[in-house]
Amino acid sequence: MVKTAKLIFDGKTFELPIVTGTEGEKAIDISNLRAETGLITLDPGYANTGSCKSSITFMDGEKGILRYRGIPVEQLAEHSRFVETAYLLINGELPTREALSRFSGLLNDHSLVHEDMRAFFEKFPRGAHPMCILASMVNALRAFYPEIPERTEEEEVNITFSRLLSKIRTLAAMSYRISLGHKVVYPRHDLCYCANFLNMMFDSPVRPYTIDDDIVKALNVFLILHADHEQNSSTAAVRLVGSSRVNLYAAISAGIAALWGPLHGGANQAVVEMLQEIHDCGGDLAPFLSRAKDKNDPFRLMGFGHRVYKTYDPRARIMKKMCDIVLKKLKQKDPLLDIAKRLEEIALKDSYFIDHHLYPNVDFYSGIVLRAIGIPLNMFPVMFAIGRLPGWISQWKESHEDADWRLHRPRQVYIGLKQRDYVPVDERG
């Protein structure tokens, strides 16, 4: 029996179907609401709005659960590699050995970037934020890799997926090298995805980069943990922009732009800046905690809180452990990690954070790992973008394959002036 919700408006009763997801999440289907009742819904920030049905990622924010295609993220972080997880997200199943090798081969084939693109990098002003460069360069890829009419749509889409996944990492490393005035290091066919990235970032003729399996593992874990997060702001941007049927490069570029913000992917950079500020001020946490609780102060404890998680973010738990593993391996001590752990301990006992359900999110500890590996601070959001790319691609693919898909075009409740007449400039008071 189809369940419905009843809406009584203007003396009439309307029945709205209830849609139930595989994990029991219930939604009121309002797709015919306006046509039948003349009403629209109002939901600032979309906190109560399901924009699509999706079979990619499941999150339970109350229980702290995150699964990609049904598989817990903890298992993927422990056993998988980023490329395999990307395949899982995009194709729905873990690859066979042969499929994984074909997929890795494609990424290898597409890892180089058109040499003419280097000129763009060189013309960005020194000090330009790498997210600005990345969003522009990903959009520009379309100009360098236009559609080829002889290819089927499926072939074109698959090539575009591989190109994006592979080139984003080359573009990120190139932008770093060029920003330093250093020679670009090309991708190598004998290295896996993460080792290749680290080598492109850090190898130098005077100081060859030694690839360490534990650091490669840490990078894999970082990227896997960021690989998808259902309808977050940047993914919603990719789906919305993609709904106009613009090319995938442009849609991903929009996702990168949305991710850049400090409330989203820019938070990993903001957390380390905040921890550094605490450190530079002598390590006293009290003023920062009271600022975070002060309604009249815009300051927030970065790396804390989440729209969906009302408990500990499962990704943060893994990232926290990873901090200790990486620092031990690299024989480093990071005073910011001690500050972060103290901050977490105090905040989790503080009634403000308890009452607001504010717990560490993925960004709280990830910056410590990135910093230990040698990733510069302003590239932290770029690392998030590399990780999130398979999620954006799979969500874009799902939306394009959805028979019910329509142009995303929300409504509004207009609260401006009623109709009035144009006043010529000389008659305006």
State the nearest-atom distance from the C-beta of 297 to ligand CMC, in Å: 10
Size of the site for ligand CMC (CB under 6 A): 21
| Sites for ligand CMC among residues 258-277 (CB under 6 A) | 263-265, 267
Report the C-alpha gap between 73 and 379 in whole angstroms: 24
Residue with the shortest CB distance to ligand CMC: 305
Of residues 169 and 306, the one with the C-beta less far from ligand CMC: 306
DSSP letter, residue 116: G
In terms of residues, how long is the chain?
429
Cα–Cα distance list, 227 to 11, 99, 333 (Å)? 48, 20, 28
CB 369 within 8 Å of CB 303: no
The pairing of beta strand 12-20 with beta strand 65-68: unpaired
| Sites for ligand CMC among residues 49-88 (CB under 6 A) | none
Q: Which of 301, 343, 369, 375 binds ligand CMC (CB under 6 A)?
A: 301
Of residues 45 and 149, the one with the C-beta less far from ligand CMC: 45
Q: Which of 129, 300, 329, 400 binds ligand CMC (CB under 6 A)?
A: 300
Q: Which of 187, 242, 255, 303 binds ligand CMC (CB under 6 A)?
A: 303
Binding mask 220-259 for ligand CMC (x = CB under 6 A): ---------x--x---------------------------
What type of residue sits at position 12?
Answer: K
230 by Cβ neighbours in 10 Å (0-12 / 13-18 / 19+) ranks as middle
291 near ligand CMC, rule: CB under 6 A: no
Look up residue 23 and give its two tokens. 């994990």
346 near ligand CMC, rule: CB under 6 A: no
Binding mask 132-151 for ligand CMC (x = CB under 6 A): --------------------
Q: How many CA atoms lie within 13 A of 28 on its CB side?
A: 13
306 counts as catalytic:
yes
Report the C-alpha gap between 208 and 103 in whole angstroms: 29
| Sites for ligand CMC among residues 397-426 (CB under 6 A) | none
State the nearest-atom distance from the C-beta of 126 to ligand CMC, in Å: 28
List residues bridging with 54 in a β-sheet.
none
Among 228, 313, 334, 363, the one annotated catalytic: 363
Give the interface segment with ligand CMC, choosing from 198-206, 215-223, 302-310, 411-419 (CB under 6 A).
302-310
Of residues 188 and 291, the one with the C-beta less far from ligand CMC: 291
342 near ligand CMC, rule: CB under 6 A: no
State the nearest-atom distance from the C-beta of 316 to ligand CMC, in Å: 9
| Sites for ligand CMC among residues 12-51 (CB under 6 A) | 45
CB 378 within 8 Å of CB 269: yes
Report the C-alpha gap between 223 and 68 in whole angstroms: 13
- Please report how the helices 193-202 and 82-91 are oriented relative to each other, as an axis angle in degrees rounded to 10: 130
Cα–Cα distance list, 104 to 117, 145, 167, 189 (Å)? 24, 20, 13, 10
Q: Which of 142, 188, 307, 400 binds ligand CMC (CB under 6 A)?
A: 307
Question: CB under 8 Å to 189, separation ≥6 — which residues?
Answer: 108
State the nearest-atom distance from the C-beta of 234 to ligand CMC, in Å: 8
DSSP letter, residue 354: H
226 counts as catalytic:
no
Cα–Cα distance list, 178 to 123, 231, 321 (Å)? 10, 34, 33
Among 110, 229, 264, 306, the one annotated catalytic: 306
| Sites for ligand CMC among residues 360-379 (CB under 6 A) | 361-363
Of residues 121 and 304, the one with the C-beta less far from ligand CMC: 304
Report the C-alpha gap between 24 and 65 in whole angstroms: 14
Site for ligand CMC, rule CB under 6 A: 45, 229, 232, 263-265, 267, 292, 300-307, 356, 358, 361-363
Q: What are the catalytic residues?
A: 306, 363
